[in-house]
A and B are shown apart, each in its own frame.
Chain A
Amino acid sequence: MADIDIAAGGWTSEASRENVRRRRRGELWLKAAGLVAITIAFAMLLTLLASLVITGFRAFTQTHVTLQVTLPPGDETPSFRAATRGAIEALFEGADEAQKREASRILSSGAQYIIESHVAANPDLIGQTFSIRVPVSDPYDQLAKGLIDRETPEALRRVSDAGIAAFDRLSEAGLISRPFNTALFVNADSRFPELAGLKGAIIGSFYALLTCFLISFPIGIGAAIYLEEFARKNRLSDFIEININNLAAVPSVVFGLLALAVFLNWFGLPRGAPFVGGLTLALMTLPTIIIATRAALKAVPPSIREAALGVGASKQQVVFHHVLPLAMPGILTGTIIGLAQALGETAPLLLIGMNAFITAAPSTPFDSATALPTQIFIWADSPERGFVSRTSAAILVLLGFLVLMNALAIYLRNRFERRW
């Protein structure tokens, strides 16, 4: 065989060595660039999470004050307002007038309703004196959490010197506590940050996602099965495929406008209802599910279809006995990721009015409600200081649900793909 001139002088020449050095430098560069990119991405994620946690973690506790409430005996409809007032005033016997005046402001304005519902649950308490923990109002909560600087001049802070003195008195008496803020999960929205919770939003989001799932899952799978297994490949099917892919890329606000025009104005469905929100989200999720399902169906090896056809299974039997069960983990994963995306979607829900101020959790999907992202939007807009940390807390809750759903998707994929 004739010799071939390699790099003008063979593998050992200087030119060849230089070539190797250049190649190694190039590879090193690529590695370094990748490392930098990942570091930046991680740093951003950490910054986001850290800022959320730093501002949000305080909202997971709430300052409470323990009161001794006395209800006069024999009175079936006692004045809880008076009883609450009496209870707080009793704590300030002998204090100066300024402190007494501020004392009632320490309590949350919802305190009397909390006592009322507590008594309603335990009717034997009438005519007795009992101890109960009620939340303090937002400024004092902030004070307790150290968010109000006592060194600030009185005129510039939201609590007066007398108020601080009164709060410290309670604190010294050991009546102030800061338990876990269950209100955040069991209460619906409120004007008062110390009473505001996410229950309405969580249930609203749940109903919306349920509606979204029930509509987009069967329709999406049906469409995908038809396109993948039955439709002939021609221009029409290509056109449909392109449009489904385009649909997935349409901005969500457009779906919101569409839903506003069609579901609310034309069909006259109730405004702000999770059901309508679910319909809107279904429109958005549908392309995602169709694409994920088609990919999952495509991933089922043709040999399985041939095997089933070979023993005399009909097309429909092939799909439902073999292909669909095998594709299910992939379909479920895609669906859950689509739903997770829908869970975080805000714009279309704002347009159909799921950002109303509603203080009760919806009992059906047709009641007006908020959803988690719109609740975050509302709180972020609220002026009260207490909502700042609650907004972050709500975001953390939302992220928690997203992580949970993605974890479920991963679990399903690993659990069922193993038998493949």
Chain B
Amino acid sequence: MMEGKVPSEQHILSAFDRDLEAVQALIMKMGGLVEAAIIDAATSLEMRDEELAERVRKEDRQIDELEELVNEEAARVIALRAPTASDLRVLLSVLKISTNLERIGDYAKNLAKRTSVLVQMAPVGDSGGALRRMAKAVAEMLKDALDSYATRDAELAMDVRIRDRDVDQMYNALFREFLTHMMEDPRNITACMHLHFIAKNLERMGDHVTSIAEQVIYVVTGHLPEESRPKGDRTSLVTDGEEDE
């Protein structure tokens, strides 16, 4: 499973290879669960499917358990195998990636929780679809980030990192949309606040995925990317609904 710039030769002590693979397999499994959670949460929102939302909330526990397991196993491998160089980077990245994934899982869970609330209210505009597209973009980014991790593909990771700007822009658009809805009708404020938090969570997920992609670059090259990440989230600069470009 190790390709690309990672030394293709195996360790003489094959148990070390097995350990490294096992820990990374846990990350992959965790990534798969998180990806599904994002999609499912967004789908439950759009379809107003309370049952699916409930399932997403429940499955988050599995992700949390996996994170704990990854941390435990990584610590164990560090203690027993005294990894160095690329092996050490892999294990450090595993620890960080698992934290990122766990956070993303928490956001997905939060999304599902808000879905359960939003189902009780009247829908506001067609924001569900926009959020689902945003969630899909994030899930794709996550998938690519994990693929780049598996294949040690720094190019792909770089690409993922750039794509975060799109997510940020989607969030900006939604921010303005929710602002408009709330100004139109104060009764929308509760729903819009929830929806806004959902959008914000999705945007945060994108940031965590970016962080995963950066870990991939660290594993492959040995250092984190230097140039500052392109940012598309400009809502922090918004004053009174007016946007200064």
A and B touch in the complex (CB under 8 A): no
Which chain B residues have a beta carbon within 8 Å of chain A's beta carbons?
none
List residues of chain A with CB under 8 Å of any chain B CB.
none
